[in-house]
Amino acid sequence: MKAIEAISLVFSYPDGTPALEGASFSVERGESVALLGPNGSGKSTLLLHLNGLLRGQGTVRIMGREITEENLNWARSQVGMVFQDPDDQLFMPTLEEDVSFGPRNLGLSEVAVQEAVSWALRSTGLVDLAAKSPHHMSFGQRKRAAIATVLSMGTPVLVLDEPTSNLDPRSKREIATLIRRLQEKGTTIITATHDANLVPSMADRVLLLNRKVVADGDVHQILCRRDLLKRLGLEMPLLADLFERLREEKIYSGATPFAVEMAAKEIAGLLK
């Protein structure tokens, strides 16, 4: 059974501007998938369809069950949504209250709520900030806090909209590492991003979106396609671009590295 199936999704904004034009894809349980596309490609719109916050034409199935008007609450208990702006999700006086809001409203016992909150704060590295007002935190901390408010719900599917946007390099790495840890625990993850350099560290598969899915494949298949990325106004990851250029010059013939450590090893080999 697929964790997510989207079939021929079509959606237009109220002014008639098309956002999705027949987007279709599926995601297996436990996969971490990057949704890559330029601004205006429909990434956020697509994510909002995955738990029924937006509903256009087409079909969305979660764990084999189609999202309908009658089961929206169930769908939102299965798919946790982390918005691009963390302040859209943080509204309580303290972080702990924000993170406990979801599980408490699910009717969990107080013991279960505290266990969920504790796990979410540990997972995001925010235990020491539990009593702090989210609005007195740094932007990077608020990004992680928004993720914690969704993790505490225990949803099997997590969708994140540009979780690393406007973050410093260290905070970006922390978010990418968190995504991988969650995947290792069995969470199915879709991350919308336009930062191709981060994709290899947080996903195994890439969906290229331009109102519809124009390419679908593993990280190496997609991120080494300069022609395809260029048509969408996207750039290759820096390391991939470098080694593909070396390949074109007949200087290099090995696998394209995406990690700095591997790239350094390959370059050392070339210099010898």
Nearest to 194, CA basis, from 28, 42, 23:
42
% of the chain surpassing 90 pLDDT:
77
> Per residue in 172-195, pLDDT tens?
998 999 999 999 999 999 999 988
Checking DSSP bridges between strand 57-62 and strand 205-209, what pairing results, if any?
A: unpaired
Both structure tokens of 148: 């914690």
**Could you tell me the residue ranges of all domains in the chain?**
4-233, 237-272
Q: Span 4-233: which CATH code?
A: 3.40.50.300
> Per residue in 41-94, pLDDT tens?
999 999 999 999 999 999 999 999 999 999 999 999 999 999 999 999 999 999
Q: What is the pTM of this model?
A: 0.91
Nearest to 202, CA basis, from 223, 185, 226, 219:
219
The CB density around residue 24, as the number of other CB atoms within 10 Å, is 14
Residues linked to residue 193 through DSSP beta bridges, in sequence order: 36
The secondary structure of residue 124, as a DSSP letter, is T
Give me the count of residues in the chain.
Answer: 272
Q: Which residues of the chain have pLDDT under 70?
A: none
Measured between its terminal Cα atoms, the distance across the chain in Å is 50
- Asked whether 22 and 196 are in contact (CB, 8 A), the reply is no
